[in-house]
Structure 1
């Protein structure tokens, strides 16, 4: 049982619901669950899942019983331990899905073999041999009683529970057209040898021909089965991203204990244990490297394409691929506590929600089928009452039954949402649900934290200035880094780390006669020369003096490098702007979103970062309470505000904004308070999130317009006798496929190319 924490006196339980075929089914299940006191439910047609919020005193079994009473099946997800004991839950679900798909495919193939000859002979008079109608009748009977049997069963089940769904319409259409054809063959003269029947897309074109609707009888199950089979395949594709995340989870792990190695199932791994990751293998779980160095590929986890270098002390994420050397990793999180598990849970939660437009569609669908049944009966009565023959009256009635399609209404939002959240996970954008997407769509102001959001959050070398005719930048870094290897000062560690990376992977020479100059810096002999790394004085060469002034303006810490008593370079150390921050702010501005910088840091560094990124609205020395008040002020001005942050001090502002956005590299408190998480820790992903939200909501609107518009146009056409039942059945199936196909386009969506910065 997937039961969430108790929140405000309620718990959340997920149910797997079977037997739903359209939005009317969704509406019925939600109503049935909602009749229990204190229970609210959100049912997703595309995933077959129901998320139920209920009081703790209502057992999950009562929820299952309520769904069963509505005429559907329901079961609780297996507890994690039980699922592991009985085999991998994901593989079991895939196997069950494959078996159901095979059965649907086989039913469709047999139906096609029986139905195609009936369609061809009925539509082509030249092929209508003597007694052809009786052969078609013999081929039609299995389609009615075997191919369409699932529709009849679900229709009868709904009748027992005083409900009507899409299956009711299909079953009635098949039975009505078959019964009329049977009457015409045995009692109406259509069974006479040599009878010929012309076919027309518009019913009633040949009023003198005997009225049999065998082609309509077989076409309705054929097209509906074909449509649902293709629809199921397409819907399966929308959830591929979530299944891809599940496949990243390792099944076994190589534990490293007392110098030996043993292979154990992943569920036996506990925090604190050390495991081995060979080149090409996936990291089994979140951890910290204790031995070895390598590059790890995080693209399938965070969407970041470039490999990340790791060494002892570096954090690694479960599911990442080791692209280089052998690593020993100490597990820091296992099971549901890992980043990969949290990503999968966020995607699952997002797909369980509903947009406002979909709730309206589901409400309409609750009345849709009864209204269509009433229209069909009214159509039949009107035609007969107007003195028309039974043939066109029944034709119009059957066309009304089979052309109406509530399926598209039920699929309009969930398929788009599944595709979008899956695509978002692939590019490092995790949304909690439709409400977050709707918030992103209408966003017009964003409050950005500085440290850890727009900047890296740790000290690094920002710029190196050398004197003319002196050592080049690489040489200066190598010498300064060599001396600082013996220092424990944060500035020294930043210089050493940068020197080892630039140029790529260079080795630093040894230092001799190392001295710590109290209050001034460090000194040592490197490659035969005395190298000093000091706080700069007043008497500096002109290039270094200019660099010192620029460093003070940018609120960076300057460090002077002196070789054999001669000033050679000035290194500026500070919290540097993240790569991509300028591009992200520029893209947000072009999307109509106003950037606002709010930080607890001093005015000078805040203004320096704002100037570098082109942000005009800057608020420095802001406490967490000040940030929350800033958000409130912006909202009072009419802005729809998002807050981007990564720390505990951002949690209040995140929770108070219209939309909270957390950096994936931030704290758990910030991520928990946020509606959107940027998993790859890059602020540029925020613009991707806004673009994805706008594209998704646009797709949903197109889907709903089509779903409503299709029924508004086709049902009246069927009522006035301008739709052949066979054409109506094909149109009904195509309508659902178009909705799903439009949603699937989100799986290949790409963010817009960033504009190059002009220097």
Structure 2
């Protein structure tokens, strides 16, 4: 066949599977005196840094950024804790403790005394799976409350604005529709506000409970006046019932959308979890047996059939095959494996069957380390996030003071207590500090998640801030910025050869 020249264009995908955005800085530090070379006399005589015990806690009861700030302060004040970071988006706290000084029970008790609940998370087992399941449960719960709120709010608004019923009957109907919204839909906010009150603190639940509770109480006042024959229009009557219902419905809609956004932001971890199978084929007495990967111990023999995903990191004992390791290396060509070679969890076995000895348990594989890296990047808090936390700590008390000033200004000075009450409710509800505390964590989650999907692993949220000021990016080789599979974009045959005929021969 006549020779032909082909051209192919690389498609961006992988910058590097273990990208370190601060490598130039690290190299400069290595050359300086601040970082000693391993094996040097200075390095050998330098005292070893004490180990740090890292505890991951699942926090329940946090509804706003003020909650996250309070839990972080509680954990940081616990004896033996060096550093604590609380992430509102993931609902988890990362606590760095001095070994042997801060027991997990002490940490959970401290959180419980603060009005929240906490439980330890096994960092080597779930790998984010429990967080994803919790997000699904939260989304289902908020969706159920939202459906109930909408089903009751629509007729409530209709009877309120159409005025098809006489005033006493109208207010009783409004009361019947608004009460389930206040008690069922608003129950999480009422419980949260009560817990904060018991601990002498305030958060978003306090603002919502005060705003909707005040509106509902005003509606009850109108109901009592209706029974006494008063003119409802003088105080707005049952309009307050509709106000309380609308406020709770829209805030619940926001909570549902917030939980859904958390789920989308955690998509990177979910996709990484899907790389490894949940079961492995263990060979016992020459017979294969399917068991959960968490039950497989180091040293056991597993069987990987052709086309299957490798469940755990292992060393090949028998068999030969080619394994697709593109999820880790970005290279599309399979890698030949023979006895003595290592296979990694999440990679795909080729045409041959392999038996291998497990060298790392679930939660300790290379894939698990990648997931942990993504999680730690999502848990990290950049400087702008810490600034938002400092603002939120003073935000809720300031809003409460402003709401009180609004009520007194309109009522005592303006002589219109009804309008003052409406303005006070508006201040309490509109000032909920959710967006302030969620903006930065959401940005870190989405940024690190999108990077993981593209093969870029970001070690900490601060790297995203630094990336915005980068002017030069140095890459180690061409293959790290290509799709890994060449694509023919043009055919240039020699003279006398038809391009279509040449493509037919190539096919």
Into which bin does the TM-score normalised by the smaller protein fall?
A: 0.7 to 0.9
User: Alpha-carbon deviation of 1:579?
Assistant: 3.8
User: Does structure 2 conserve the Cα–Cα contact (< 8 Å) formed by 1:289 and 1:328?
Assistant: yes
- Match in the other structure for 1:54: 97
**Counterpart-to-counterpart distance in 1, 2:111 and 2:76:** 11
Answering whether residue 158 of structure 2 is matched by residue 120 of structure 1, we say yes
Structure 2 distance, partners of 1:160, 1:261, is 57
Equivalent position of 1:41 in the other structure: 84
RMSD (CA atoms): 3.2
Alignment: residue pair count: 433
C-alpha deviation, 1:235, in angstroms: 0.8
- Aligned equivalent of 1:66: 110
Q: What is residue 435 of structure 1 aligned with on the other side? A: 462
Q: Does 1:409 align with 2:451?
A: no
Match in the other structure for 1:304:
330
- State the match for 1:352 in structure 2: 379
8 Å CA contact retained: 1:253, 1:275: yes
Superposed displacement of residue 141, structure 1: 1.9
- Is the 1:292–1:326 Cα contact (8 Å) retained in structure 2? yes
C-alpha change, 1:151 and 1:208, in structure 2 (3 Å) is closer
Q: Structure 1 residues 92 and 192 mapped into 2: Cα distance closer, same or farther (>3 Å)?
A: same
10, 19, 23: which one aligns with 2:61: 19
Change in 2 beyond 3 A, CA 1:118/1:245: same
Gaps of 5+ in 1: 1-5, 198-206, 449-453, 455-577, 581-681, 689-755
Q: Match for residue 207 of structure 2? A: 169
Cα distance change, pair 123–294 in 1 and its aligned pair in 2 (3 A)? farther
Moved more, 223-232 or 308-317: 308-317
Distance 1:377 1:306, change over 3 A: same
| Contact 2:182-2:245 at 8 Å conserved across structures | yes
Distance change in 2, residues 1:36/1:289 (3 Å): closer
Cα distance between partner residues in 2 of 1:22 and 1:11: 28
Contact 2:62–2:68 (8 Å) recurs in 1? yes
C-alpha deviation, 1:224, in angstroms? 1.3
Name the stretch that deviates more: 31-40 or 377-386.
31-40
Alignment of 1:263-412 (within 5 A): 263-267=290-294, 269-270=296-297, 274-289=301-316, 292-299=319-326, 301-302=327-328, 304=330, 306-312=332-338, 315-412=342-439
Contact 2:129 2:273 (8 Å CA) reproduced: no
Q: 1:244, CA displacement in angstroms?
A: 2.6
Instruction: Give deviations 1:391-413, integer Å, cap 9, x for gaps.
Output: 11111011001111211111112
* 1:252 partnered with 2:279: yes
Alpha-carbon distance between aligned partners in 2 of 1:377 and 1:336, rounded to the nearest angstrom: 52
TM superposition shift of 1:331: 3.9
Question: Residue by residue, what CA displacement relative to the aligned partner does 1:610-648 show, whole Å, maximum 9, x if unpaired?
Answer: xxxxxxxxxxxxxxxxxxxxxxxxxxxxxxxxxxxxxxx
Aligned partners of 2:222 and 2:235 also within 8 Å: no
Instruction: Provide Cα deviations, 1:326-356, integer angstroms capped at 9, x if missing partner.
Output: 3344544443432101101111111111010
Q: Is the 2:56–2:95 contact (alpha carbons within 8 Å) kept by the matching residues of 1?
A: yes
Whole-angstrom distance in 2 between the partners of 1:305 and 1:119: 60
Q: 1:29 — aligned with what? A: 71
Q: 250-259 vs 408-417, which deviates more? A: 250-259
Given the superposition, is the C-alpha separation of residues 330 and 118 from structure 1 closer, same or farther in structure 2, using an over 3 Å criterion? same
Residues 686-745 of structure 1 show CA distances to partners (whole Å, capped at 9, x for unaligned) of: xx9xxxxxxxxxxxxxxxxxxxxxxxxxxxxxxxxxxxxxxxxxxxxxxxxxxxxxxxxx
Residues 180 and 415 of structure 1: CA distance in aligned 2, closer, same or farther (over 3 Å) = same
Contact kept in structure 2, 1:133 and 1:191, CA below 8 Å: no
State the partner residue of 2:267: 240
Shift of residue 305 of structure 1?
7.0
Q: Cα deviation per residue 1:215-253 (whole Å; 9 max; x = unaligned)?
A: 111111111112112211221121122123223333333
How many Å apart are 1:46 and its aligned residue? 0.6
3-state secondary structure, aligned to 1:213: helix
Take 2:197 and 2:354, find their aligned partners in 1: how far apart are those partners? 63
- The correspondence of residues 371-520 of structure 1 with structure 2, limited to 5 A, is 371-444=398-471, 454=476
Deviation at 1:128, TM superposition (A): 5.3
The answer to whether the Cα contact below 8 Å between 2:171 and 2:238 also exists between their aligned partners in 1 is no
Structure 1 pair 162/260, CA: closer, same or farther in 2 (3 Å)? closer
The residue aligned with 1:110 is: 148
Structure with more contact order per residue of length (Cα contacts < 8 Å, sep ≥ 6): 2
- C-alpha contact 1:304 1:427 (8 A) present in aligned 2: no
Note if contact 1:293-1:309 (Cα within 8 Å) is conserved in structure 2.
Answer: no
User: How far apart are the structure 1 equivalents of 2:418 and 2:228?
Assistant: 12
Query: What TM-score does the superposition give when structure 2 sets the normalisation length?
Result: 0.76
Report the Cα distance in structure 2 between the residues aligned to 1:13 and 1:294, rounded to whole angstroms: 40
CA separation in 1, counterparts of 2:464 and 2:360?
30
* In 2, Cα distance between equivalents of 1:9 and 1:277: 38
* TM-score computed with the length of structure 1 as normaliser: 0.52
> Are 1:184 and 2:222 an aligned pair?
yes
SS of 2:381 mapped into structure 1: coil
The verdict on how the C-alpha distance between 1:174 and 1:283 changes in structure 2, with shifts beyond 3 A counting, is same
Bigger drift between 315-324 and 132-141 goes to: 315-324
Larger displacement relative to structure 2 (365-374 or 422-431) = 422-431
Shift in Å, 1:414: 1.4
Tell me the SS of whatever aligns to 2:276. coil
Per-residue CA deviation, residues 412-458 of structure 1 (Å, 9 max, x unaligned), is 1212222222222222211221122223333345677xxxxx3xxxx
2:181 maps to which of 117, 127, 143: 143
Give the corresponding residue for 2:498: none
Residues 145-203 of structure 1: CA distance to partner in whole angstroms, max 9, x if unpaired? 3321221111011011110000000000111111122223323799669x7x7xxxxxx
Within 2, Cα distance between the matches of 1:92 and 1:282? 22
Q: Quick check: 2:319–2:354 contact (8 Å CA) kept in 1? A: yes
Task: Provide the rounded CA distance (Å) in 2 between the counterparts of 1:429 and 1:8.
Answer: 31
CA pair 405-345 structure 1, distance change in 2 beyond 3 A: same
Q: C-alpha distance in 1, partners of 2:61/2:343?
A: 43
| Cα distance in 2 for residues equivalent to 1:259 and 1:38 | 50
Unaligned regions of 5+ residues in structure 2, if any?
1-47, 484-489, 491-507
